[in-house]
Structure 1
């Protein structure tokens, strides 16, 4: 995966101090939420290439978020919008029973976890 570090994006847009969460919206209407700390992880990127080639549409191109330390439903494909928010709100899978954060090492897959 190659692209723009989410930290570089944050340095440029400088979210307001009250921003603690991010809502990602894809061109197909899909949404997912993230704590700002996870979005700003050292290895999180807005990816535009994979294995040296532009990301295909089937894999989320032209740009997708990649947050390696969370379940991949948090790495939204076909990104259209990134909103910084003071409060958390559920995205598509989170409204349908998935965990609000999604850390695989903590087995945070479903909301009851």
Structure 2
């Protein structure tokens, strides 16, 4: 287990729900969209119907929460970031990504981390559609970083030249969030 569970983490069989503020609920999916913007040649937008028509993949990973729980052997269904990027032409100065979610929540990532083949936009976890508490209809999943970097209720992907803190990082979380380095908070 040492090679799968980072220092300071405890295994859980459950799937704890952690967030700040209220949970968004969607009654009319025709009003949901995902925007890709910033340092791109042309903005891209996916309606829910268009997003769900994209090629899907199964992903398996372990997830590690900043609050010290780890959940092993997760099985997801989603759309690979590599699939999304087939529709996006980045400008050369793009080096960072800001994931934007409902209620103004956001988190930052280096571009290289977002573009990994293991990063995806998930809508199903262990055979079930995501619950609203876990990010329905779509959450980003960046499994090699702490789970707050896997933004719930994803609505936008912004490409940027310079790094800047998202909601979680402005409120004390580490700018990068490597669980193997225990980069939990900005003072770590």
Which TM class, normalised by the smaller chain length?
Answer: over 0.9
Unaligned runs of 5+ in 2: 1-75
Q: CA deviation at 1:79?
A: 0.6
Question: Which TM-score applies when normalising by structure 2?
Answer: 0.58
Q: What secondary structure, in the 3-state scheme, does the structure 2 residue paired with 1:28 have?
A: helix
- CA RMSD in angstroms, aligned pairs only: 1.0
Unaligned runs of 5+ in 1: none
Corresponding residue to 1:4 among 67, 79, 87: 79
Q: CA deviation at 1:40?
A: 1.0
Q: Deviations over 1:57-110 (max 9, x none)?
A: 111010000111100010000011110001111011111121101000011111
Q: CA deviation at 1:14?
A: 2.1
Indicate yes or no: 2:104 matched with 1:37: no
Residue aligning to 2:95: 20
Q: Aligned partners of 2:133, 2:174: CA distance in 1, in Å? A: 25
Instruction: Decide which structure has greater helix share.
Output: 1
Residue aligning to 1:84: 159
Query: What stretches of structure 1 move > 3 A for 4+ residues in a row?
Result: none
Q: Aligned partners of 2:125, 2:87: CA distance in 1, in Å? A: 24
Q: Aligned partners of 1:29, 1:97: CA distance in 2, in Å? A: 16
Q: CA deviation at 1:11?
A: 2.5
Q: CA deviation at 1:12?
A: 1.8
Question: Which TM-score applies when normalising by structure 1?
Answer: 0.94
Q: Deviations over 1:45-64 (max 9, x none)?
A: 10011112221111101000
Larger Rg over CA atoms? 2
Residue aligning to 1:104: 179
Count, aligned residues: 113
Asked which structure has the greater RCO (Cα within 8 Å, sep 6+), the reply is 1
